[in-house]
Structure 1
Amino acid sequence: MTDLPATMTAITIPTPGGPEALVPGTRPVPQPGKGEILVKVAAAGINRPDVVQRRGLYPPPPGASDIPGLEIAGTVVALGEGASRYAIGDQVCALVTGGGYAQYCPTPEVTALPVPLGLSLQEAAAIPETFFTVWSNVFDRARLQPGESLLVHGGTGGIGTTAIMLGKAFGAKVFTTAGSPEKCEACRSLGADLAIDYKTQDFVAEVKAATGGKGVDVILDVVGGTYIQRNFEAAATDGRIAQIAFQDGSKAQVDFMRLMLKRLTHTGATLRSRPVADKAAIARALEEKVWPLLAQGALRPLMDRIFPFTDAAGAHARMETSAHMGKIVLEVA
């Protein structure tokens, strides 16, 4: 264990609210528990759950830090009891349940992965939350197969850009929705076969036209609300819909007849509160199947903007404009 300071700077939320609610504060440097490693954070990714937590609408799960931040990259500086995979000085990126917006953050070593060859620490910090989420929902739960079609809603966000790249990398035909011609072009540049401007086009009609009336095999939805019924219309027979967020609300009036007639599967999941063992299994699958593609340069996270640690409020304001394309990251050190 290296010599560590007693205190650190962390981004806190004294009172829930807008981006200005994120305030730098002083906290004790955490100690790694059993099976954990302590990471000196170089960069932390920004995700929509952080925004919802800042507003006071998404409390951390029991035992998690109240400091926001679900993904980090940095250098291992201490090992907890039983932690043996990594050595002091190793560079890792990790999925965490909170505490990422800080100079030091502990993580179970089983949800930490080596920084992929050729990626900066800022790029590595942009990977865990979105890659874990997309892999577990699109490939594990929705069982996307090579040769099938995938519709990704919100194609230029962190989840969307990751889903487009992973879908193409594993042999799917990828359709996506985005909110402007520029965003649609960005989706196509990532490999999307069809990008639909949801402000001027009906994604159900466009998907049906592109598939000869069949519909799509898998839909990854972050919108919810009125999209729930429309997803049922856009899905193919035996289609699978993976629900991971509700930007348009979690309540809707839905006619479930399509669910029966098309033999659809509508599944949903959150990641943050899942057991460590579940996240560890996702980490192993990513390391086996996706990490080689990152190391080869076949995949690379799309970076929108890197903000200094002290401007977490600016990073959140950027995300809330929805103007970003790709990942927003805080540079901590």
Structure 2
Amino acid sequence: MSTESSPGSAKMKAINIRNDTGPAEALFLNESPIPIPKDSQVLVKVKAFGLNRMDLSQRLGNYPVPPQAGNILGVEFSGVVEHVGRGVTGKFKVGEEVFGLTYGGAYAECVAVEAGTLMHKPNGLSWEEAASIPEAWMTATQALRIANFCAGKTIMWHAGASSVSIAGIQLSLAGGATAVYATAGSQDKLDFCVKTLGATDAFNYKEKDFSVEIDRLTNGKGVDIIIDFVGQSYLQKNLNRMAKDGSIIALAAMSGSVAKEIDLSAFVRKRVRLQGSTLRSRDERYQERLCDHFVEVALPSLSNGSFKLCIERVFSWEKIVEAHKLMESNQTKGKIICTI
């Protein structure tokens, strides 16, 4: 595959969306131009890519896509270096096995990615395992940094069986949390959080009020950190169960973004901090620094098996419609991966 040809002259297969937005059935394999990497980029021949909930939102036209993302879905992948930009000399070589994070374009045979968010694939990880790591584990790493997490703190991860929380629960325990709590929507997921991942306790939000349970388990003190993906329906409960000087880190708003009739007194009384964050909207330098931090603090434990990688199911990318429908079902524990 030559990267020296003019844009559009060399083709690859990629997953496109009919009419640009639509349901899962709108996804289809099509021909697209092979991306021509900039001097700071590496062209990777993709072996596997991971699905993320943002892909569903982007497919429906409901996600604010960064300008460098392009119109092909996918932010994480594993593969083989095909071409190295002139400014990347010495860090990567053609033929090396890599995995990484990109702003978009991973649902394709080739993706051009900034060298700073590309990592060498450890020999002990399969293509599928490597592709399951970047978005979830780096998002969890970022959330802990933003929350000023340190040993001795208590933390709760909502959506405990999601890929980010699977990573976050393990990172919290490894970092010395005194208690790690989780919420989920089925007994199977609760057992997974506690028995497989090691969470201190987990609560079925469909059957119990997690704020009441946290109040009981902490003798009214609450937790130091809450990582939330749910949004408005959890905000008051989160506030009720925060410890003094605690932090709520909002990574999504799956129940809605408009919160009504919220008692804000806890912000003042408990000195609570509420901060939102996303990873994809961060600039390239930020993502590179986060990647370096992740390689230092988490990748060794992923490489040697100390941290668990949880893959729900692997599809051929020709089954992308089925893969998206499975993610939409909210029945998964861990990542959905597609192979090329």
TM-score (normalised: structure 1): 0.96
AA aligned to 2:17 is I
Q: Is the 8 A contact 1:117 1:294 kept in 2?
A: no
AA aligned to 1:11 is I
C-alpha separation in 1, matches of 2:165 and 2:302: 17
1:183 maps to 189
C-alpha separation in 2, matches of 1:300 and 1:186: 12
1:247 maps to 254
- Deviation (angstroms), 1:121: 1.1
AA aligned to 1:9 is K
C-alpha separation in 1, matches of 2:189 and 2:17: 32
Output aligned runs, 1:3-82, within 5 Å: 6-15=10-19, 16-82=21-87
AA aligned to 2:328 is E
Task: Determine whether 1:202 maps to 2:188.
Answer: no
1:34-83 per-position Cα deviation (integer Å, ceiling 9, x unaligned): 21001110110100000000011114211321100011111111011211
AA aligned to 1:183 is K
Alignment counterpart, residue 102 of structure 1, candidates 91, 94, 108: 108
- Deviation (angstroms), 1:273: 1.7
Q: Is the 8 A contact 1:303 1:326 kept in 2?
A: yes
C-alpha separation in 2, matches of 1:279 and 1:197: 34
AA aligned to 1:101 is Y
- Give me the identity figure in percent: 37
C-alpha separation in 2, matches of 1:146 and 1:320: 35
Task: Determine whether 1:130 maps to 2:136.
Answer: yes
- Deviation (angstroms), 1:234: 1.3
Q: Is the 8 A contact 1:6 1:29 kept in 2?
A: yes
Say which is worse superposed, 231-240 or 13-22, in terms of deviation: 13-22
AA aligned to 1:128 is P
2:148 maps to 143
C-alpha separation in 2, matches of 1:199 and 1:213: 22
Task: Determine whether 1:226 maps to 2:247.
Answer: no
C-alpha separation in 2, matches of 1:121 and 1:234: 41
1:192-214 per-position Cα deviation (integer Å, ceiling 9, x unaligned): 11011111111001111111211
SS in 2 for 1:247: coil
Q: Please, which runs of 5 or more residues in structure 2 have no aligned partner?
A: 4-8
SS in 1 for 2:135: helix
1:237 maps to 244
SS in 2 for 1:232: helix
2:287 maps to 279
1:295 maps to 303
SS in 2 for 1:267: strand
User: How many residues are matched?
Assistant: 330
SS in 2 for 1:107: strand
C-alpha separation in 1, matches of 2:123 and 2:217: 37
C-alpha separation in 2, matches of 1:278 and 1:207: 34
Q: Runs of at least 4 residues of structure 1 off by over 3 A?
A: 2-5
Alignment counterpart, residue 212 of structure 1, candidates 219, 222, 227: 219
SS in 1 for 2:173: helix
SS in 1 for 2:29: strand
SS in 1 for 2:189: helix
Root-mean-square deviation over aligned CA pairs: 1.3
Q: Is the 8 A contact 1:309 1:331 kept in 2?
A: yes
Q: Please, which runs of 5 or more residues in structure 1 have no aligned partner?
A: none
